[in-house]
Structure 1
Amino acid sequence: MQMTGRTWHIGIFGTFDVENYGDLLFPILAEAELTKRLGSVQLHRFSYNAKDQAEWPYAVTSVADLPELAEQLDGVLIGGGFIIRFDKVVAHGYFPPSPDIHHPTGYWLSPALIAQQHGIPVVWNAPGMHCNDIPEWSTPLLKLALEHSQCVRVRDEPTRESLGALSPNTDIQVLPDTAFNLPNLIDELHPSAAFAELRQTFGLDAPYIVIQSIHVVEPFLQLFEQHPEALAGYRLLVMPIGPVLGDHPMVVTARIPDAITLPFWPEPLLLAEILCHAQAIIGHSYHLSISALVFGVPVFSTADLSTGKYTALAEMGQMHALPPAEELTVHWFTSRLGKTRPSASLSAAKVALAAYWDRVAKIIAQGKTSTRSALNRFWQNLPTLLEHGDNQPSAPTAIAAPTLDFLNIELNARQRQIFLLTEQLALSEAKVTRLQASNSFRVTAPLRSLRRGFRKLRER
């Protein structure tokens, strides 16, 4: 039921300023659900870097402006996505706009504390930490933020266990990722005009398979090269899901030249609609998988479904983990192709999400909280905490081994740089070839010969 009569100003915090499909979805989903319940909602999307709606799917405000804007907010959502983290490699070259903003807590932890200082209700919008470690210096701040939030929901059990150990008295529950509500935003039976045009222009009126343009799909590329019959009757659409993480079409098109690519990166809901009408999805992305599963599209995933965030998808019938090399056969692949009814477990996810958004709307409608005094007491105690920390003997800090996510991000970024340099080199060679074939180049050939002769005489 809508609450009318005013406009609600709600802040949502995350990495909405990068080309990564899943991150761009969260504000769209939140705005739709809160508008349905609260009426007029103005969603303020906060990330490191400001974005203009003329060049981006929506306007984004820099977190550098939050101290001046916080007072006008009626509620704050933290996440979702993989944002409860302390490692420095969020994406290649991704850093805060000012050295005064801590990286990477500046777009999730600091905003929660600032909101609580202003008595603004804080909701953790099913973010995850994917087995990320919590450093000792951050524990008082994170514990404070959790204990004074009005609703803490995370997207997987490993995240709940880690945060629950830090703050045992906080009610922390696992909530399905908010992207499971995508069918509320896409009419599967009535395609949008943008998708209808795209389908006609790029030959997607025939059955097609989407493959994420990322290096870990290599086993499937080998299968298609050695057994092209595996794709008989299907078009192959190569789609970057996270360009900021290094996705690049040439990962696939260099091996399968007949694959379709698009000359632009689709906006989030159009990309979701492309996935909705596919006959299969191949890739690694978490939100690529969810976007397919909610529409009954089978997913061939290169992720480890037994750890972290992927555990939430492991039991869904259309989710197929990459098998050992000897088991990845044409029959194994083709026998699992084709869109079907979505998994029955999705119904429970939708019920849980509906109850969650009802609660979030109610929390925001109740207005300001009494968290200011708790924050004031913490700031009063902060010098003691800092002094106590300074007097403790510090153990040598071990250098953490690079995580698989870190290595994948770095590898993808390097591959993308290679592909871009290759494209630039090809353009340069084409320019040189055109120049050498031009009339002016031939007419001036004697002059260049004379110049070389004079240079040699001068050197002698």
Structure 2
Amino acid sequence: MMSAGSQPPIERHQQGSTPTIAVEPGSERRLVRIAIWGTFDLANFGDLLFPRIFVHEMTRRLPRADVRVFSPLGYEHPVPLDGGFVAEPLGEWSRERVGELAEELDLIAIGGGEIIHTGDELYARYYDIAPEDARRLAPSAFFLDGLGPDAERRCPVAWHAVGVPFDIVGEDAARIRTALASRAYVSVRDELSRQRLVRAGVEREIAVVPDSGFLAERVLPRPLLEKRLRYLRAIGSYPVSEPPVVVQGSVLLVERAEEIGSALRAALEERPAPVVLLETGPCHGDGEFADALARHLTGPVFRMHGGVGLEDIASAIVHARAFVGISMHAAVIAFAYGVPAATLNLVGFSKLDSLSQLLESERTLVRRGEDLPRAIKRVLDGERPGANLRSLVPRIDAHFDRLAELAERAAAARRGGDWWQQNAAALAEADARYERLRRAYEARGQRRVLERLRFAELLERVETGTSRRETEARLLAHMDELGRLRRELEARTRPRGLKKLLRRITPLRRLHASLRRSRP
């Protein structure tokens, strides 16, 4: 039996294989109870991507792990982007609440995202609550203070590649120092975050780990994203003829929409391509920016609204000619899948500067308006960052190895004492019940994705007497034309122009009816 103080070695594998904890035979039957805390109940691509990757990576290493996801409001604040993958609510911090969680869990990982700050009122807009309610909810009490020193001796807490968005001073610095003194493991996602902690007086090891989003292809494989592309084309949200420039921004860029639109128009005159307006963060006002930018663009413009799923957002970026936007995780996805990207850091986010340094992509980082035309032209010409994904992945894998090691060691320590002896039967029954519930929950969560795939798959079965390839080409071409006519219809307001447009649509409606009749 492994002693409570021993550290189980991690079996090192080649990239792409499944790392596991190397322990004595039979240990794979142990239940290791893990939680991840963060803002996974917000309508934002990056926040919703974190738990998907975390659950995948921890269960690769600990197949019997019971991984739970917690957020400030959790399933009490559902968002369209979550696809049915919802978090449990943390609720308001109290000693009773953290004591309860400490007894239920063997390890808590906090992060990722820029959640290491005390500005609880900033969450008011994201959760659509009053500032005083956000302060009462106090997410920072969980994200900074964790369980507290006493409870963390029983249930270790780790910072999971978090971001520190602001300098920490005064009472906040003292609070951080106290919290981290007993923390089992502290990791941040960039060097600037580490420096901010050091300047706050933190005197302990702080690991710098690249954002876990770089592992996205493990949970968003290319075959799935190809199917999502077919769906996006089928509903007229993505061009058929050629890869587009995918553009995204938040409410912070609305005042710069005319400037950004002018730079895009100039670049696209020399390097023609359709434009897709993408919303990766509805909670950040991406829709407001898309509305503003659309008024300053010409040529083919497509729109992906905020109600699509994570797979759809990733597919739009992965199949683009280039990405231009302010979203950090959209830029991470572009890099991970080899898509040129220009980052619009016109508001001075330190996380975007840090990402640019990591990826060696300063030539396509836009800090000033005059940098816009040059950066956009570079990515349209195919310029990519100097860094290599293969240099980042081993660092992230080593980080997950360490988290798995902490969880296994803590679980083994509990099983070696009276607590485990007294509760073994109850835990076994709870585990079996949880497995049944998890299967039902996962089936529900996947339902939305499967329904979206259904229409795209129908395209493969359409036959009208011509070859499958010819049929598909005809359908895609007509969907592209229907999308163009839909946009033209929205732009027209005069009755005479509308009547003319309806006459042009009639042949396409007849084609659609004939294809429906020929469907098997």
**Alignment partner of 1:242 is 2:276:** no
Which piece of structure 1 moves more, 315-324 or 74-83?
315-324
State the identity %: 25
- Please give the alpha-carbon distance, in whole angstroms, between the structure 2 residues aligned to 1:132 and 1:182: 30
1:321 pairs with 347, 360, 365, which one? 365
- Please give the alpha-carbon distance, in whole angstroms, between the structure 2 residues aligned to 1:48 and 1:333: 38
* 1:350-376 per-position Cα deviation (integer Å, ceiling 9, x unaligned): 110111111111111001699xxxxxx
Q: Is residue 361–residue 384 contact of structure 2 (8 Å, CA) maintained in 1?
A: no
Quote the RMSD (CA, aligned, Å).
3.3
Match in the other structure for 2:329: 287
Say which structure is richer in helix.
2
1:13 pairs with 17, 37, 45, which one? 37
- Please give the alpha-carbon distance, in whole angstroms, between the structure 2 residues aligned to 1:338 and 1:266: 29
Match in the other structure for 2:243: 207
1:252 pairs with 286, 293, 297, which one? 293
C-alpha displacement of 1:307: 6.7
**Alignment partner of 1:71 is 2:103:** yes
Q: Secondary structure at the match of 1:282?
A: strand
How many pairs align?
Answer: 369
Q: Secondary structure at the match of 1:126?
A: strand
* 1:200-219 per-position Cα deviation (integer Å, ceiling 9, x unaligned): 43343321111114352623
C-alpha displacement of 1:342: 6.7
After superposition, the Cα gap between the structure-2 partners of 1:40 and 1:204, relative to the gap in structure 1 and judged at 3 Å, is farther
* 1:201-247 per-position Cα deviation (integer Å, ceiling 9, x unaligned): 33433211111143526232122346651561x22111112111111
Which piece of structure 1 moves more, 272-281 or 60-69?
60-69
C-alpha displacement of 1:154: 0.5
After superposition, the Cα gap between the structure-2 partners of 1:332 and 1:151, relative to the gap in structure 1 and judged at 3 Å, is closer
Match in the other structure for 2:64: 40
After superposition, the Cα gap between the structure-2 partners of 1:340 and 1:300, relative to the gap in structure 1 and judged at 3 Å, is closer
Q: Is residue 224–residue 231 contact of structure 1 (8 Å, CA) maintained in 2?
A: no
Which piece of structure 1 moves more, 331-340 or 91-100?
91-100
**Alignment partner of 1:363 is 2:363:** no
- Please give the alpha-carbon distance, in whole angstroms, between the structure 1 residues aligned to 2:45 and 2:349: 22
- Please give the alpha-carbon distance, in whole angstroms, between the structure 1 residues aligned to 2:268 and 2:383: 24
After superposition, the Cα gap between the structure-2 partners of 1:271 and 1:36, relative to the gap in structure 1 and judged at 3 Å, is same
Q: Secondary structure at the match of 2:168?
A: coil
Spell out the pairing of 1:155-304 with structure 2 (5 A cutoff): 155-188=189-222, 191-202=225-236, 203-205=238-240, 206-214=242-250, 216=253, 218=257, 219-225=259-265, 229-230=269-270, 232=272, 234-248=273-287, 249-256=290-297, 258-263=300-305, 265-303=307-345
TM-score calculated relative to the size of structure 2 = 0.63
- Please give the alpha-carbon distance, in whole angstroms, between the structure 2 residues aligned to 1:77 and 1:238: 34
- Please give the alpha-carbon distance, in whole angstroms, between the structure 2 residues aligned to 1:158 and 1:318: 17
Q: Is residue 228–residue 315 contact of structure 2 (8 Å, CA) maintained in 1?
A: no
Q: Secondary structure at the match of 2:402?
A: helix
TM-score calculated relative to the size of structure 1 = 0.71
After superposition, the Cα gap between the structure-2 partners of 1:163 and 1:102, relative to the gap in structure 1 and judged at 3 Å, is farther
1:353 pairs with 392, 396, 409, which one? 396
After superposition, the Cα gap between the structure-2 partners of 1:100 and 1:266, relative to the gap in structure 1 and judged at 3 Å, is closer
C-alpha displacement of 1:139: 4.0
After superposition, the Cα gap between the structure-2 partners of 1:141 and 1:253, relative to the gap in structure 1 and judged at 3 Å, is same
Match in the other structure for 1:142: 176
**AA partner of residue 406 (structure 2):** I
Q: Is residue 71–residue 89 contact of structure 2 (8 Å, CA) maintained in 1?
A: yes
**Structure 1: stretches of 5+ with no match in the other structure:** 371-425, 427-460
Q: Is residue 119–residue 369 contact of structure 1 (8 Å, CA) maintained in 2?
A: no
Q: Is residue 304–residue 321 contact of structure 1 (8 Å, CA) maintained in 2?
A: no
Q: Secondary structure at the match of 1:367?
A: helix
- Please give the alpha-carbon distance, in whole angstroms, between the structure 2 residues aligned to 1:132 and 1:174: 17
**AA partner of residue 195 (structure 1):** L
**Alignment partner of 1:92 is 2:135:** no
